[in-house]
Amino acid sequence: MTYRQKIFAILISAILMVIIIELVRRKKLREEFSWLWLSAGFFIICLSIWDFILIKFANLMGIMTPVGTILFFLIAFVFFIVLHFSIKISTLTDQVKNLTQEVAIIKSLSDNTGKGQAWRQGL
């Protein structure tokens, strides 16, 4: 890895981490999600500083350049985070469904014992 590549990778990761921490500070991002992004940034900084690890990985996986390896890790990371979000969305959909059902049932029970029934009898 050339110095330029190293500095560039470290700079980008550092900016990413600062943005994430700022978002958490402003309560725009939950801590729950931030750790994934932070660990990604930290991982890239580590790999950029100690690029022999990167070269080892590149050799191991048959990738020609260390930069290619970084790209590979990035794509893998994005894949996992999107999967993580899909799981989260599924959970949220279930929770919203259960809440909606619960609220509708409670609302109907209070309506049917009071106003609704009286109104029907009046018909």
Partner 1 sequence: MDKRVLIVMPAFNEEDNIRGVIHGIRSALKGADILTVNDGSKDATSLFASMAGSAVIDLPYRLGYGNALQTGYKYALKKGYDYLIQLDADGQHDPCSLPALCDEIKKGAHDIIIGSRFIKYTYNPPLARRIGMVLFAKIGSFMTRQGLTDPVSGFRAFNKKAIRLFCTDLFPSDFPDVDLIIMSKRAGLKIKEIPVLMHPARNGKSMHSGLKPAYYIFKMILSIAVTNLRRVEREKEEA
Contacting residue, 94, 110, 118, 122, with partner 1 by CB under 8 A: 94
Amino acid at 73: F
**Euclidean distance between CA atoms 68 and 51, whole angstroms:** 13
Are 56 and 63 contacting, i.e. CB atoms less than 8 angstroms apart? no
Closer by beta carbon to partner 1, 64 or else 123: 123
Q: Is the CB of 64 or the CB of 121 nearer to partner 1?
A: 121
Stretch that binds partner 1, among 27-35, 46-54, 76-84, 95-103 (CB under 8 A): 95-103
CA pseudo-torsion sign 46, 52, 53, 55: positive
Residues in contact with partner 1 by the rule CB under 8 A: 94, 97-98, 100-105, 107-109, 111-112, 116, 119-120, 123
